[in-house]
Homo-oligomer: A and B are copies of this chain.
Amino acid sequence: MLSKEDLFKEYLDSKKLKFTAERQAILDRVFANYKHFEADELLVDLRQNKLKISKATIYRTLSLLVKCGLLREVIFGERHTHYEPVYGHEHHDHMVCNDCGMIIEFVENRIERLQDEVCKKNNFEPESHRLQIQGLCAVCRKKDIGALQITGKKFPSVEV
Contact = CB atoms under 8 A, between A and B. Distances in A.
Interface in A23-44: none
In the complex, the count of this chain's copies comes to 2
Nearest to A126: B135
A155 B2 CA distance: 15
Interface bin, chain A: 35 or more
Q: Which of A129, A133, A136: most chain B CB closer than 10 A?
A: A133
A125 B130 contact: no
Query: Per DSSP, are chain A's interface residues mostly helix, strand or loop, or mixed?
Result: mixed
Interface string A32-75: 00000000000000000000000000000000000110000101
Contacts of A118: 95, 106, 108, 111, 133
Interface in A125-143: 125-138, 141
A126 B119 CA distance: 25
Given A67-B155, A111-B114, A111-B115, A126 B122 contact: no
The 8 closest A-B pairs by CB, nearest first: A123-B138, A126-B135, A129-B133, A127-B135, A131-B131, A125-B136, A125-B135, A128-B134
Contact of A136 (B15, B124, B158): B124
A141 B158 contact: no
Contacts of A106: 118, 122
A111 to B, nearest CB: 5
23 contacts: A67-B155, A75-B75, A75-B77, A95-B119, A95-B124, A97-B124, A104-B124, A106-B118, A106-B122, A108-B118, A110-B114, A111-B111, A111-B115, A123-B138, A125-B135, A126-B134, A126-B135, A127-B134, A127-B135, A127-B136, A127-B156, A128-B134, A129-B132
